[in-house]
Amino acid sequence: MLIVAAVVALGVGYYVPQTFSAKSGVDGAKSADASKSATSATKAKPAAPKGGWAVSAAGRVEPAGGEVRISSPTLGRVAEVLVSLNDKIAAGDLLVRLDDEDLIGRTNAALAEAAARKRERDNAEAAAGKAQDRRSAEDGVANAERQLIQNRDEVDRLLRARRGGQNVDADLDKARDAVSKARDRLEQTRATLRKALAVDGLPAPSRQEVGLTAARADLAQAEAALERTRIRAASPGTVLQLNARPGEAAAPSPENVLVVIGDLSTLRVRAEIEERDIGKLRVGQTVELAVDAYPGQVFRGEIQSLDARVAQDTRTLLVRAILANKERKLLPGMFANVTVLVGDPAEVVTVPRTAVTYSLYGDSVYVAKPAPPKDAKAPSPAAGAPAGEQLIAERRFVRTGQVREDRVAITFGLTAGEQVITTGQLKLNSGAAILIDNSQPLNRAEPRPKQ
């Protein structure tokens, strides 16, 4: 029986040890019925070198610092949401405010008590020497803490104004700068207090000083409780997901995520590389990314880190690459085909992915070979076969290498220039007579499943 199959000339690409870059050229066509006329196979030509590449794998795009999932630190009801999806935020910006009316009253009472205790201390006998240094340092810390809170409240006010449609970007930048300076000032005053408390021969505090210290401690606790109702951004980035709604309950639970943020200016790609390719990988190597959203466009980055262990279930190594995202084209969650570039290009034998039959017994291809002489035991050509050289299919087990797009590297079992059958392999047996049909262009193989 004559089986008509599409046949393609085995192409030659360019090779980096055990890897390749795909060659160009026109491949064979789809399989045809025996009733169709036969045509000759089209031979592909090798492409010019485009640079070496080592390994490829499917990867997932994510922010370089990961996605920060923010939950509420305390039980409460969402009173106000100050951000929207895709908003760019700075570290310390207020994202969500919980109900805080009772805590505001408690804080105001503690503030008034601390002010009264300070007046009592100041009206008492004046301190001198080391005691005065301690008193001044304590006052400096208290004043710096109040200044930081006031500056932070001003930023929160401007954020509300911006959400209301006002143009306050310039004032907001100044307020954020003031918060940064106030935070630095607080650290300096705390260092001064530690130094004042560490001197030898420091006299014991007076009763009025002890009362003021206790009042300030109560104030600090009240302010800390109030601040826990302010859910802020720990780092700059973009709001990727927003689940908070005014009136909803919030709880300190990993499942109750209110806001997800991430820095999109620099992204990271996680890819799992097969164990056999680990020896080719180095930190700092160039990687290329291709995503379905931008066909034909290549994004470049470099390997940032390699995991210290191989996954036992998949026998793969997790590789993290980092790349700039200035144009904001790449988004977290995208799948990407990741290619690691290394070394100089060299030649390698490649075939279309549709030519390879994968099985538990080994990978194989069908090669088109001239039929043996008529006096030998060979299948007779089917009726309707054209005169000329008769071909048969020879099944050959091969060792496959890396895959790039629709091309597979063959590291053992084939030589450049041999013709392989690209479709209709299920109808073939080794030794079956075949007829080449390249009347239609070879369709590109379906994309590999993404992991």
What's the pLDDT at 38?
35
What's the pLDDT at 431?
84
Supply the angle between the helices 207-227 and 130-163 in degrees, to the nearest 10: 20
What's the pLDDT at 100?
92
Say how far apart CA 305 and CA 322 lie, in whole Å.
9
Residue 389, SS3?
A: coil
Going through 43-117 in order, the beta strands assigned E by DSSP cover: 55-63, 68-71, 76-81, 88-89, 94-98
What's the pLDDT at 445?
52
User: In which residue are the tokens 């951000």 written?
Assistant: 83
DSSP 17: T
For residue range 219-241, list pLDDT tens digits in order. 999 999 999 999 999 889 999 99
Residue 105, SS3?
A: helix
Say how far apart CA 169 and CA 69 lie, in whole Å.
26
What's the pLDDT at 228?
94
For residue range 28-85, list pLDDT tens digits in order. 333 333 333 232 333 333 333 344 556 788 899 999 888 899 999 999 999 999 999 9
Q: Is the per-residue pLDDT at 137 higher than 80?
A: yes
Residue 267, SS3?
A: strand
Going by pLDDT thresholds of 50, 70 and 90, the confidence category of residue 406 is confident
Going by pLDDT thresholds of 50, 70 and 90, the confidence category of residue 349 is confident
Q: Is the per-residue pLDDT at 399 higher than 60?
A: yes
Q: Is the per-residue pLDDT at 159 higher than 80?
A: yes
What's the pLDDT at 171?
93
Nearest to 329 by CA among 305, 300, 304, 302: 300
For residue range 47-62, list pLDDT tens digits in order. 333 445 567 888 999 9
Nearest to 79 by CA among 107, 100, 104, 93: 100
What's the pLDDT at 239?
93
What's the pLDDT at 25?
32
What's the pLDDT at 391?
85
What's the pLDDT at 392?
86
Q: Is the per-residue pLDDT at 12 higher than 50?
A: no
What's the pLDDT at 34?
35
Going by pLDDT thresholds of 50, 70 and 90, the confidence category of residue 393 is confident
Going by pLDDT thresholds of 50, 70 and 90, the confidence category of residue 341 is confident
Choose between 111 and 430: higher pLDDT: 111
H or E, element range at 209: helix 207-227
Supply the angle between the helices 207-227 and 101-123 in degrees, to the nearest 10: 160
3-state helix, strand, coil in the chain (%, to 5): 25, 30, 45
* Cα angle 9-10-16, degrees, rounded to a multiple of 5: 155
Going by pLDDT thresholds of 50, 70 and 90, the confidence category of residue 375 is low
DSSP 426: G
Residue at 345: amino acid letter: P
Question: What is the pTM for the complete model shown?
Answer: 0.62
Query: Which DSSP string do the residues of 179-201 spell out, in sequence order?
Result: HHHHHHHHHHHHHHHHHHHTSTT
For residue range 235-273, list pLDDT tens digits in order. 899 999 999 999 999 999 888 999 999 989 899 999 998
Q: Give the whole-number percent of the chain exceeding pLDDT 70.
A: 80
Q: Is the per-residue pLDDT at 19 higher than 60?
A: no
- Mean pLDDT rounded to a whole number for the chain: 81
Q: What sign results for the dihedral spanned by CA atoms 344, 345, 349, 350?
A: positive
Q: Is the per-residue pLDDT at 139 higher than 60?
A: yes
What's the pLDDT at 98?
95
Domains annotated on the chain, with CATH: 2-52+345-436 (2.40.420.20), 59-65+263-340 (2.40.30.170)
